């Protein structure tokens, strides 16, 4: 059992219970990838496993789980809404490196106007504030990333693994549960102008995430640049590929 396997198991079980999940296609070669890393006694097998689903109102629900022994544990879990809903993205980046843990949880907004914030950020601020005492702000964050996060962005660097197994896990459950309530209440958008704005906002977010993916260096080191770039653009952030599919309707 790895540190973030319980998070992944919980999420898949909850989504299976609450939604009508069906498989989302994972391109060949990305379901599982493994490579030896390090030398001598420090050599570890790094395994990356991919998971993907879809559901009504949700275009893609996907996870990348990286297991590299004591030195490396990563779970990147993201939910992308359908393009005819104004839902935010659900994003969880859970990273453990030799120097400690990096935790980012959020419902990343499409827009930043007051009405959107009132609808999607304000309701989860009490959850965010409930965890601030034990999961304090993790420090500096790239300036160009700030437009892609909400006022309820939980960004923290706990030192103790026990804190990840307890407080962080509880926060993950609460954020995901709140997100599924938003999904249940969401109504399709029909206004053409608003649909264009949603598409543009999704493209901005996914373009930024693909260009600035912090895992790029890690994946390149383990699996090479060709595999890495295709994994990022063809699976992790695949909106542009999705839009090129024939007979696409949004």
Q: Is 55 helix (H, G, I), strand (E, B) or coil?
A: strand
Residue 91: is its pLDDT beyond 90? yes
pLDDT band at 40 (very low <50, low <70, confident <90, very high): low
Q: Specify the pLDDT at position 122.
A: 97
Predicted confidence at residue 1, as pLDDT, reads: 57
Q: Is residue 95 part of a domain?
A: yes
Task: Give the per-residue pLDDT at 140.
Answer: 85
**What pLDDT shows up at residue 245?**
80
User: Is residue 236 in a domain?
Assistant: no
pLDDT of 144 strictly over 90? no
3 state DSSP class of 113: coil
**Mean pLDDT confidence for 212-229:** 93
Q: What is the pLDDT of residues 56-76, one digit of tens each?
A: 999 999 999 999 987 799 999
Residue 175 belongs to domain with CATH number:
3.40.1500.20
In a domain, 204, yes or no: yes
> CB of 91 within 8 A of CB of 110?
no
What residues form DSSP beta bridges with 36? Answer: 45
* Domain containing residue 151: 5-223
Report d(CA 86, CA 195) in Å as an integer.
9
pTM, whole model, 2 decimals? 0.94
Give a yes or no: residue 249 inside a domain: no
Tell how far CA 49 is from the center of its chain: 15
Number of domains in the chain: 1
139 in a domain, yes or no?
yes
Residue 250 lies in a domain: no
Q: What is the mean pLDDT of residues 173-193?
A: 98
Tokens of 215: 């895992």
Minimal CA–CA distance to 215: which of 22, 85, 41, 33?
Answer: 33
Give the Cα separation of 224 and 17 in Å (integer). 37
Average pLDDT, the chain: 93
Is residue 51 in some structural domain?
A: yes
Q: Tell me whether residue 237 is in a domain.
A: no
Residue 26 pLDDT: 97
Contacts of 3 by beta carbon, 8 Å cutoff, 6+ apart? 73, 96, 161, 164, 165
Residue 190 phi, psi (nearest 5): -115, -15
Dihedral sign (CA 50, 12, 76, 150): positive
Cβ atoms of 222 and 46 within 8 Å: the answer is yes
Rounded Cα distance between 6 and 63, Å, is: 13
Per-residue confidence band for 249, with pLDDT thresholds at 50, 70 and 90: very low
Q: Which of residues 221 and 6 earns the better pLDDT score?
A: 6
Contacts 24+ apart (CB under 8 A), 60-67: 60/24, 60/238, 60/242, 61/15, 61/21, 61/24, 62/24, 62/235, 62/236, 63/8, 63/11, 64/215, 64/236, 65/2, 65/4, 65/5, 65/8, 66/215, 66/218, 67/2
Residue 22, SS3 per DSSP: strand
């Amino acid at each position: 059992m790895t540190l973030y396997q319980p998070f992944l198991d919980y999420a898949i079980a909850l989504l299976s219970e609450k939604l009508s999940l069906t498989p989302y296609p994972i391109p060949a070669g990305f379901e599982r990838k493994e490579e030896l890393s390090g030398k001598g006694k420090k050599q570890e097998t790094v395994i990356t496993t991919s998971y993907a689903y879809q559901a009504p109102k949700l275009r893609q629900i996907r996870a990348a789980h990286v297991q590299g022994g004591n030195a490396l544990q990563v779970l990147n879990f993201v939910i992308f809404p359908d393009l005819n809903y104004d839902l935010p993205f659900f994003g969880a980046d859970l990273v453990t490196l030799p120097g400690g843990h990096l935790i980012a949880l959020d419902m990343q907004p499409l827009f930043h106007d007051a009405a959107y914030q009132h609808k999607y950020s304000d309701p989860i601020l009490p959850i965010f504030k409930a965890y601030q005492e034990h999961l304090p702000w993790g420090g500096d964050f790239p300036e160009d990333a700030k437009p892609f996060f909400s006022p309820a962005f939980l960004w923290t660097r706990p030192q103790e693994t026990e804190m990840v197994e307890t407080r962080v896990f509880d926060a993950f459950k609460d954020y995901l549960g709140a997100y599924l309530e938003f999904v249940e209440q969401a109504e399709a958008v029909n206004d053409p102008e608003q649909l264009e704005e949603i598409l543009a906002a999704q493209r901005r977010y996914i373009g930024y995430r693909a260009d600035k993916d912090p895992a790029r260096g890690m994946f390149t080191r383990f699996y090479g640049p060709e595999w890495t770039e295709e994994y990022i653009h063809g699976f992790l952030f695949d909106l542009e590929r999705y839009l090129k599919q024939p007979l696409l309707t949004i």
